Amino acid sequence: MSELVLNVKDLSAGYTTHGLFGRKTYKEVIKDVSFSIAKGEILGLVGGSGTGKTTLAKAVLGLIKPEKGVVESFTKKPQMIFQDPLSSLNPAFTIQRVLEEPLILRGIASKTEREERVRETAGKVRLGESSLRSRPSELSGGQRQRVSIASALLCDPGLIVADEPVSALDVTIEAEILELISELRRDTGISFLFISHDLNVIYKICDRVIVMNNGMIIEEGETRKLFRSPENRYTKALLSAALET
């Protein structure tokens, strides 16, 4: 069996909300979820809106505490990228400074070394000199997504959780970002948990797919096989809806 970067077993998680009179209510969102990701694998997570994809991503990254079950990570600092990176980029910083931030946090004190690492990583994601001098609001959606990918790479992760990373982009830019992710996987062996509600996108990039509905994994399989012969009714419905678009 290939080397794993992540193993999730019987994971249940949700949110506690505070109601009237300080009463707490717990709402379970994901239920008994188990899956794993191999080194260098792009695993797709697909499902309709509100099924718990982002919640699962947060639980995988330890941003919310599991109610039950375990998340075992066998790799260095997993990172997350989002649909709209603008909210996570400091508007006052130039992109150069934004990208130096993870290195400062990692204790790389030498400015020259940081500049070198940023230049090298900007090259990998094909961000030019002028983009590095810009502020986040001055970049296009595609360039911003390149910045967030570069920022994740600068943390030297073994796994990147990408939550709808191309959903806000038009199709040509989407194709470029998907190409970039495939290339990074090929060249660096980084694994991805790639979340999308769009099966067409999943088909282009993922090795294997898990399908989620109502917080549960209802089907799992190698991408081509799952698209060719889905077994679950919900997966079939998602696929026929995707064919119409």
Ligand X SMILES: Nc1ncnc2c1ncn2[C@@H]1O[C@H](COP(=O)(O)OP(=O)(O)OP(=O)(O)O)[C@@H](O)[C@H]1O
In the complex, the residues that contact ligand X under the rule CB under 6 A are 15, 17, 29, 47, 49-55, 197
DSSP 168: T
Query: What number of chain residues touch Mg ion (CB under 5 A)?
Result: 2
- Buried/exposed code over 100-109 (b: 16+ C-beta within 10 A; e: otherwise): bebbeeeeee
Binding at 29: pick from Mg ion, ligand X, none (beta carbon under 5-8 Å per type): ligand X
User: Regarding beta strands 4-18 and 24-38, do their DSSP bridges make them parallel or antiparallel, or are they unpaired?
Assistant: antiparallel
Closest CA relative to residue 117, chosen from 86, 90, 153, 80: 153
The least CB distance from residue 74 to Mg ion, in Å, is: 25
Residue 149: closest CA among 75, 95, 224, 71: 95
**54 touches Mg ion (CB under 5 A):** yes
What is the smallest separation between the CB atom of 49 and Mg ion, expressed in angstroms? 7
User: Out of ligand X, Mg ion, none, which partner does residue 52 contact, by CB within 5 to 8 A per kind?
Assistant: ligand X
Helix (H) or strand (E) holding 46: strand 42-46
- The least CB distance from residue 85 to Mg ion, in Å, is 15
Q: Which does 17 bind (CB under 5 to 8 A by kind): Mg ion, ligand X, none?
A: ligand X
* Residue 3 DSSP class: P
Q: Which does 165 bind (CB under 5 to 8 A by kind): Mg ion, ligand X, none?
A: none
Q: Per DSSP, which regions of 110-188 are E strands?
A: 159-163
Least gap, CB of 208 to ligand X (angstroms) = 19
Considering the complex, state which of residue 118 and residue 194 has its C-beta at the smaller distance from Mg ion: 194
What is the contact surface with Mg ion in residues (CB under 5 A)? 53-54
